[in-house]
């Protein structure tokens, strides 16, 4: 193997594939990146056996070949090189790396020891803008359950029915959902659960332009980005709870709130909450929203904003973190708070397919 490649492109590509590398793996080969030089391109692949990331970049290939190198160490070297182009050459069991006046030699591991990719036989496929997929994941990922005892909830549900793409995350205390209509879906309707780590990796790879093609198989999913980057992930083989059961059929009150002002006053008031008293009271009165918090070991706070409201006076209490997280991630000017009373599930929504359901706290 012998090739020449632009240093900046190589560094950027290594950064893409390196994040899934674990330093705690008992298999040494999983700490390596697979390099395949062919047809004037260099293909880089990494895997942790659950996720596989592959990307390819243009290169001047003088001799085809493949090898594996320690992924993190190779990236550290390339990142610090000074020069426009990097030359890689395989000599015996070593790979020489030359750029400018710098010259390195790294020991390889045989490419044949690197795990082969699993075959993915697609049963459904759709395409979505990368920026839209990133928005959907950003709006719900904080609601994923981080407790492994409920495996199904440790991932994000992708539910595809009648050209609707619904993504859901819940930890049993709150639920976040984004719905999007698709016009290019092919295959069977169905549900899959994407692991939380895979969702994070996908979010990191997604850009602000271009599309991502999603291919779903029986127990695998593949995301193909416009820049020749492909991420394949295993799925969680569990049944997701019926999330629709926790969403009230109807609400008696739909209250329009200025999102930024509501989030700001909520952040201010919650500065006094503590582990002993971790809730904020929200009081609705005529054209006014008041918030207060009291903590025996810190103090108390009170603040208010003007809103349009002519319904009955109502007090409802929340864990402030559970409200601030979705408000910080939304980009709409207004958010609708839907409620029936101070004890039943409350929802936040906007006009762009987002819905967030949370139970008020009983300690009021």
Q: How far apart are the C-alpha atoms of 52 and 71, rounded to whole Å?
A: 14
- The whole-number pLDDT of residue 163 equals 81
DSSP 8-state secondary structure symbol assigned to residue 265: H
pLDDT at site 363: 55
Q: What fold does the segment set 124-245 form as a domain? A: DNA Polymerase III; Chain A, domain 2 (3.10.150)
Residues 7 and 83: beta-carbon distance below 8 Å = yes
Q: Are 139 and 354 in contact (CB under 8 A)?
A: yes
CATH code 1.10.3430.10 for 2-113: no
Helix (H, G, I), strand (E, B) or coil at 124: strand
Is residue 143 a contact partner of residue 171, using CB atoms and an 8 Å limit?
A: yes
Q: Which CATH number among 3.40.50.1980, 3.10.150.10, 3.40.718.10, 3.30.230.10 corresponds to the domain 249-358?
A: 3.10.150.10
Q: How far apart are the first and last CA of the chain?
A: 69
Query: Looking at residue 364, what is its pLDDT?
Result: 44
Fill in the DSSP letter of residue 76: H
Is there a shared CATH topology between the 2-113 domain and the 249-358 domain? yes
Q: Residue 83 phi/psi, 5° resolution?
A: 155, 170
Domain assignments of the chain as residue spans, ordered by start: 2-113, 124-245, 249-358
How many C-beta atoms lie closer than 10 Å to residue 180's C-beta?
Answer: 18
3-class DSSP state of 237: coil
| C-beta atoms surrounding 128 within 10 Å | 19
DSSP state of 93: T
Residue given tokens 């127990």 in the structure block: 219
Residue numbers in the chain where pLDDT is lower than 50 = 364
Q: What is the pLDDT of residues 233-268, one digit of tens each?
A: 999 999 999 999 999 999 999 999 999 999 999 999
Q: Which contiguous run of DSSP H or E holds residue 126?
A: strand 124-129
Burial of residue 160, with CB atoms counted within 10 A of its CB: 0-12 exposed, 13-18 middle, 19 or more buried: buried
Q: For residue range 107-130, what is the model confidence (pLDDT) as tens digits?
A: 999 999 999 998 888 888 999 999
Distance CA 175, CA 270 (A): 22
Return the sign of the alpha-carbon dihedral for residues 350, 354, 357, 361.
negative
Q: CB-side exposure of 295: number of CA atoms within 13 Å?
A: 16
Calculate ∠ Cα 221-223-226, nearest 5°: 165
CA–CA separation, 33 and 67 (whole Å): 8
């Amino acid at each position: 193997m012998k090739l020449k490649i632009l240093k900046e492109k190589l560094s950027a590509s290594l950064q893409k594939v390196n994040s899934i590398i674990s330093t705690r793996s008992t298999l040494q080969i999983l700490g390596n990146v697979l390099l395949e030089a062919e047809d004037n391109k260099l293909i880089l692949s990494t895997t942790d056996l659950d996720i596989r990331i592959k990307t390819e970049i243009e290169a001047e290939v003088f001799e085809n070949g493949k090898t594996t190198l320690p992924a993190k160490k190779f990236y550290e070297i390339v990142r610090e090189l000074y020069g426009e182009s990097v030359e890689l050459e395989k000599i015996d069991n070593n790979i020489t790396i030359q750029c400018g006046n710098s010259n390195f030699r790294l020991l390889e591991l045989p490419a044949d020891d690197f795990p082969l990719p699993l075959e993915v036989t697609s049963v459904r496929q759709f395409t979505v803008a990368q920026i839209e997929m990133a928005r959907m994941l950003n709006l719900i990922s904080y609601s994923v359950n981080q407790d492994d005892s409920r495996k199904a909830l440790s991932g994000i549900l992708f539910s595809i029915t009648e050209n609707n793409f619904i993504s859901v995350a819940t930890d049993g205390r709150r639920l976040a959902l984004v719905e999007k209509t698709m016009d290019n879906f092919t295959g069977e309707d169905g549900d899959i659960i994407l692991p939380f780590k895979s969702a994070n990796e996908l979010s990191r790879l997604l850009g602000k332009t271009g599309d991502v093609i999603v291919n779903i198989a029986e127990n695998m999913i593949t995301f193909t980005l416009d820049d020749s980057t492909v991420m394949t992930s295993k799925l969680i083989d569990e049944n997701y709870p019926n999330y629709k059961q926790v969403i009230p059929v109807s609400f008696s009150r739909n209250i329009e709130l200025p999102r930024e002002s509501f989030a700001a006053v909520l952040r201010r008031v919650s500065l006094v909450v503590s582990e002993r008293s971790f809730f904020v009271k929200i009081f609705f009165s005529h054209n006014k929203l008041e918030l207060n918090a009291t903590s025996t070991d810190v103090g108390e706070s009170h603040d208010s904003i003007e809103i349009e409201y002519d319904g009955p006076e109502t007090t409802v209490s929340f864990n402030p973190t559970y409200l601030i997280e979705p408000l910080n991630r939304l980009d709409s000017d207004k958010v609708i708070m839907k409620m029936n009373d101070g004890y039943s599930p409350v929802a936040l929504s906007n006009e762009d397919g987002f819905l967030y359901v949370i139970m008020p706290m009983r300690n009021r």
